[in-house]
Structure 1
Amino acid sequence: MQRIFSDELSFTPIMSTCINLDVYPHAYLTAMHVSSFLSPVVNFFTIFCILRKSTKAMSAFKWYLLMYQVTSTIFDFIYTTVAVPVIFFPLPMGYTGSWMAEWFSISVHTMFIIVIPSFPCVATCIFGLFAYRIHVIIPSNHFLRISENGHIHATVVFFFVYIIPTLVALVNTSPDQNLARQLILSVGDFVRSVRCTASPPPLVLEEEKQYSGTSWRDGCRHLFLIFPILHIDFCHSRKIQRYPCAEPVMTIPRLHIYTAESLKSLIIVIVVLIIMTIPMAIFIFCSAWYFLNRRDHLSARTKRLQRRFIIFLSLQISIPALSLAGPILGVVFLFGTVNTSLSGLGNVALAAIGLHGTINSVLVICCNEPYRKFTMDLFVYTALMELAKLWN
C-alpha cells in the first residue's frame, strides 16, 4: 500500500467535527415528557368542544372537523407519549425515550411505521374539510359537484391515492441492523487505510473485494467505501466522514439505524405526493374564490359567511401545517450536515414537531366561534370564581 500511494499526492481524509453524542438530552426529554401530559388535555378538550358545542349550522361540518382533530390527536399522542424519538444528528439513528417505549420495548421503527401513515390521514382530513366547504357553494348543476355526496367520493379517492403508495414505500424501510452497525463503524476504518491519489492505479484492496460489484458512487452515498482507489478530487467533493463518537452509543437499548438505500423509496413517494399536493391546493383555493364571486346562486349574506368560513379554515389549517413543515425541513437539513455539535438544534426541531397537536387544537378553538366563546366563558368564569374566593 505504501508503494502504491505516493506521499506527495496523498492527504488525510476530511473528518467531521464529531463530539461526544448526548445520549440522554435531559432538557429535550423533560420538555417532551411535560408535553406528553399537557397536550392530551388540550386535544381532548378540543374534541369535547367539537362534539358538544357545535351549532346546528355545523351539523355536517363538525364531523369532518372531528376526524381532522382525532387524526391530529393520534399523531400527537404517538409522537409525544408513546415514542419521544431521540436522534443522533446527523447520523440516521436513534432510539425511543418515552417511559411507555421503555415499558413495552417500542422501537423507533415501530413509531416510524405508525407515524408516517398518519400524514396521509391528516392530509385527507384537510382535503375533506375544504371539499365540504366548496361542495356547499358549488351550483347544483355544475360538473364539479359530481353528485349529492361528491365531496365524500373525492375524499375517499384522495385517501387511497395517498395512503397506498405510502404503505408500499414503508416495506423494507428498516435495513439489517447488524449490517447497518458495521457500516456506521467501518467508515473510519476504511478511510484510515486508504490514501487518495490523483492518478489511481487499477488495484482492488483485499478487504474490499466483497464489494467490488457495487459502484463507488452508490457505495459512498450509503457510507460504504467500495472502490479500492479514491481520486483526490472525488474525496474532497464527497467529504467522506468518520464518526468515532458513534461507537459508545451502539449498545443503547432500542437503538435503530437507517440507511439512505432503505429510505430511498419512501423519500421518492413523499416528494411525488408533495408535488401533487401543490397544484391541488392551488386549484381548491381558486375554485373557492371563483364560486364565491359568482352572483347567480348565493345570497350576499351567504357569500359573506362562506367567505369568512374559508378564510378561518385556511388559517386553521395553514398555521399548524407550517409549524410542522418548518421543523421537519430543519431535521432534513441537519441530516445533510456533518457536524454532530448541531444535535442540540435537532432536539429543538423534534420538540417543535411535538407542539403540532397543541397548536392545531388551539387554532381549531380560535377559528370556530362556538368553541372560542365557550372557552373564553369557561376561563372568565373560572377566573371570577378564583377572585371571589380571594375576596372572601
Structure 2
Amino acid sequence: MGWQYRINLFLYQVWCLLLDVVYSFVAAPVVFYPMTMGYVAGIAKSFDGSLYPITVFLFINLAVVGVAIKAMLLARYYAVLPNNHFLKAHNEMFVILILGWYILYVGSLATTALLIYPNILNNKPEFEKQFTCAAAVVIYAKDAFQHTSFIPLLYNAGVLVVLTITIGGSIIYLTFSAIKTSTHLSERTKNLQKKFLIHVALQGAIPAVFLGVPLVTLFCIFVFSIVNTQSE
C-alpha cells in the first residue's frame, strides 16, 4: 500500500496549500481589514454573488483534506493486515472507498451550494441598500454570509465533520487492534506501525486545529456581525 499512501499524502499537501493560500490572501483580509484590502473587492466583483464561490471552495477544500487524511489512515490499516484478509485480496476496494468518499464530500457540498445560491443572490440588493457607502468592499464580503441563507451549507459541513471524525476514529481503533492481535508481524514491525499511525493521526490534527479553528472563527464573526447589524 506504499503508493496509495504516498498519493494521498501528496493530495493532502496540495489541498492544505490551496486552503492556506485562499484563506490567507482572500478570506482573512476581508474579515480583519475590510476597508483597506481593495484588491479583494476587485476579485469579489468578478463573481456574481460576491465571495460565495470562494467560500464554497474553502468548504470543499477542507472536505478533501479530510478525505486525504482518512485515506492515509486507511492505507496504514491495509499495511498491517495479513495477506489472506479479504480487504487485501480485493485491493480495488481501497480505490473504490477513496473515490466514494471524494464523491460524497465534494458532491454533497457542491449540490447544497448550488441549491442555496439563488438565496445568496437575493441577499445582495438588501445589503446594497443597507451599506451604500461601503458597497465597494463590505457588501462583497458580507452578503454571502446571510445566516438564514447560509445555514444549509453549515449543516452539511457539520454532518461531514461528524462523519469524518467517526470514520477516522474507527480506522485508528481498527488499526491499533490489528497491530496488537497480529501474528504475522514482528515486535519491531508492530512498534514501527504504531509510530507511523500516530504520525498520521497527528498530521490529521494539524489542519483541524490550525485551519479548521480559524475558519470556524471567521464564520462566527460574520454570523454575529450580521445578527447584530440586523438587531440595530
Using structure 1 for the length normalisation, give the TM-score: 0.49
Is 1:175 the counterpart of 2:60? The answer is no
Per the alignment, residue 160 of structure 1 pairs with: 103
| Distance in structure 2 (CA, Å) of the matches to 1:326 and 1:113 | 17
Q: 1:248 to 1:82 in 2, by over 3 A?
A: closer
Per the alignment, residue 179 of structure 2 pairs with: 292
1:119 aligned partner, one-letter code: L
1:112 aligned partner, one-letter code: T
| Distance in structure 1 (CA, Å) of the matches to 2:73 and 2:36 | 36
| Distance in structure 2 (CA, Å) of the matches to 1:98 and 1:83 | 13
Query: Could you tell me which of 142, 154, 160 is aligned with 1:273?
Result: 160
TM-aligned CA deviation for residue 322 of structure 1: 1.3
2:205 aligned partner, one-letter code: S
1:97 aligned partner, one-letter code: M
Query: Could you tell me which of 64, 67, 74 is aligned with 1:121?
Result: 64
| Distance in structure 1 (CA, Å) of the matches to 2:170 and 2:77 | 11
User: What does residue range 2-41 of structure 1 map to in structure 2 within 5 Å?
Assistant: none
| Distance in structure 2 (CA, Å) of the matches to 1:121 and 1:60 | 16
Per the alignment, residue 263 of structure 1 pairs with: 150
| Distance in structure 2 (CA, Å) of the matches to 1:66 and 1:98 | 34
Q: 1:127 to 1:268 in 2, by over 3 A?
A: same
User: What does residue range 227-376 of structure 1 map to in structure 2 within 5 Å?
Assistant: 246=131, 248-252=133-137, 255-256=140-141, 257-258=143-144, 259-334=146-221, 335-336=223-224
Per the alignment, residue 68 of structure 1 pairs with: 12
1:336 aligned partner, one-letter code: F
Q: How many matched pairs?
A: 218
TM-aligned CA deviation for residue 99 of structure 1: 4.0
2:13 aligned partner, one-letter code: Q
Unaligned 5+ segments in structure 2 are: none
- Larger helix proportion, structure 1 or 2? 2
Using structure 2 for the length normalisation, give the TM-score: 0.78
Per the alignment, residue 31 of structure 2 pairs with: 87
Contact 2:16/2:207 (<8 A) preserved: no
SS of the residue aligned with 1:255?
Answer: helix
Contact 2:60/2:105 (<8 A) preserved: no
Q: 1:179 to 1:332 in 2, by over 3 A?
A: closer
Q: 1:299 to 1:331 in 2, by over 3 A?
A: same
TM-aligned CA deviation for residue 265 of structure 1: 1.7
| Distance in structure 2 (CA, Å) of the matches to 1:78 and 1:62 | 25
| Distance in structure 1 (CA, Å) of the matches to 2:176 and 2:38 | 45
| Distance in structure 2 (CA, Å) of the matches to 1:84 and 1:295 | 48
TM-aligned CA deviation for residue 289 of structure 1: 0.4
1:125 aligned partner, one-letter code: A
| Distance in structure 2 (CA, Å) of the matches to 1:329 and 1:311 | 26
TM-aligned CA deviation for residue 135 of structure 1: 0.9
Contact 1:96/1:108 (<8 A) preserved: no
Cα RMSD (Å): 3.2
Contact 1:121/1:159 (<8 A) preserved: yes
TM-aligned CA deviation for residue 159 of structure 1: 1.1
| Distance in structure 1 (CA, Å) of the matches to 2:22 and 2:90 | 37
Contact 2:112/2:152 (<8 A) preserved: yes
| Distance in structure 1 (CA, Å) of the matches to 2:113 and 2:80 | 38
TM-aligned CA deviation for residue 271 of structure 1: 1.8
| Distance in structure 1 (CA, Å) of the matches to 2:26 and 2:98 | 29
User: What does residue range 175-194 of structure 1 map to in structure 2 within 5 Å?
Assistant: 175-176=121-122, 177-182=124-129, 185=130
